[in-house]
Amino acid sequence: MGILNEVSDEESQHGGQEGNVALQKKRASFPSRERHYAVRRKTRSHSPPFHRCNRVPPQLPPAELLCDSDYGDSSEERKTCNSCKCPREAHDVYHEEWVNVRERLGFKPPADPDRRPSREKTISEGFSWVPPGLPSHKIEEYFQQLPPGKVPRLGSPGEKYRDKQLMLQLPKQDLALAYCKHVETQHHPSYEDFINARNEIALDIGYAKDSTSYSSECPQCHQVVGMSELAVVAPKFGDRTLWHPSCFVCSTCEELLVDLTYCVHDDMLYCERHYAEQLKPRCAACDE
Ligand SMILES: [Zn+2]
Ligand SMILES: [Zn+2]
Ligand SMILES: [Zn+2]
Ligand SMILES: [Zn+2]
């Protein structure tokens, strides 16, 4: 016992030193990310969740959880829907014919008709989503810049990838109280305040541009986005900040922001899930 203890003490001291060096290096190269985690730690400890469920189901990551009522009770059954046997993560998406993120968020249609999503146009192009703002002949060029498995071509794995990301990045229970089954009445005003403030300050939908009259440095990869290149614009960052289509990702999960729907926090891009989790802890049981 004595010998084992000595060895592990030595190891932990040694490991501690290496750990410090690694931490310093990381701080130096990712100042904003470190700051982001610091902010996250700070806001987390001060902000109680809207509620906490007593029953925590075992071993399922929070992202895949939905409320008990829709699913079987045993842990085997939990992964599929009782009524239609669809996979849990795709559940709410499979029940809707065509998902328009703007409607899902309760946003008004954009003033610019070129940026208005149209079911007929999208389906006739052969996709379940196309970037708003682009003429038809630029859509292929845009999608060529994305990993092939993430292009939402109808009937392809990319279409399923988008459905899953809609569910993960824009959880319905974050969008309106009507979808929350477990938020107690006394927390409803604070939930409404949270949603209203988020919609006003943080949450928005980006659009694509097929050319610009200026070039800009992409905030994600720090390479130039040229004037003739396709670019993504996030209005909350101003229209002079341009991203490469493949660089418009959440700072936490690093997934492409689904349908260009983003939140801004401390000058960084997040999906709605990871924005909300910085401000309010999420219940591990029902994901609200
Ligand atoms: Zn289902
Ligand atoms: Zn880039
Ligand atoms: Zn994310
Ligand atoms: Zn809960």
> 164-192, pLDDT tens digit by residue?
999 999 998 898 888 888 888 889 999 99
* Averaged pLDDT score across all residues of the chain: 77
- For the segment 190-204, the average pLDDT, to the nearest whole number, is 92
- Residue by residue, DSSP assigns 230-260 as -EEE-GGG-TT-EE-GGG-B-TTT-PBPGGG
Higher-confidence position of 35 and 138: 138
Q: What is the pLDDT of residues 212-225, one digit of tens each?
A: 889 999 999 999 99
* Angle in degrees, CA 260, 94, 191, rounded to 5: 60
Q: How far is the CA of 86 from the centre of ligand 1 (A)?
A: 5
Q: How far is the CA of 173 from the centre of ligand 3 (A)?
A: 16
Q: How far is the CA of 44 from the centre of ligand 4 (A)?
A: 17
What pLDDT was estimated at residue 15? 43
- For the segment 99-106, the average pLDDT, to the nearest whole number, is 86
The yes-or-no verdict on residue 155 having pLDDT over 60 is yes
- For the segment 125-138, the average pLDDT, to the nearest whole number, is 94
What pLDDT was estimated at residue 34? 52
- For the segment 9-15, the average pLDDT, to the nearest whole number, is 45
**Residue 271 banded pLDDT, cuts 50, 70, 90:** very high
What pLDDT was estimated at residue 86? 54
Q: How far is the CA of 32 from the centre of ligand 4 (A)?
A: 32
Tally Cβ neighbours within 10 Å of residue 25: 10
Indicate which ligand has the atom closest to the C-alpha of 94: 1
Tally Cβ neighbours within 10 Å of residue 75: 11
Rounded CA separation 79/90 (Å): 11
Percent of the chain whose predicted confidence (pLDDT) is above 70: 68
The yes-or-no verdict on residue 92 having pLDDT over 70 is no
Rounded CA separation 86/2 (Å): 56
What pLDDT was estimated at residue 116? 87
Beta bridge partners of 270: 263
Q: How far is the CA of 248 from the centre of ligand 2 (A)?
A: 8
Rounded CA separation 160/156 (Å): 7
What pLDDT was estimated at residue 80? 53
Closest listed residue to residue 66, CA positions, set 222, 229, 180: 180
Rounded CA separation 33/31 (Å): 6
Query: Does the ipTM exceed 0.85?
Result: no
- Residue by residue, DSSP assigns 128-175 as S---TT--HHHHHHHHHTS-GGGS-BTTSHHHHHHHHHHHHHS-HHHH
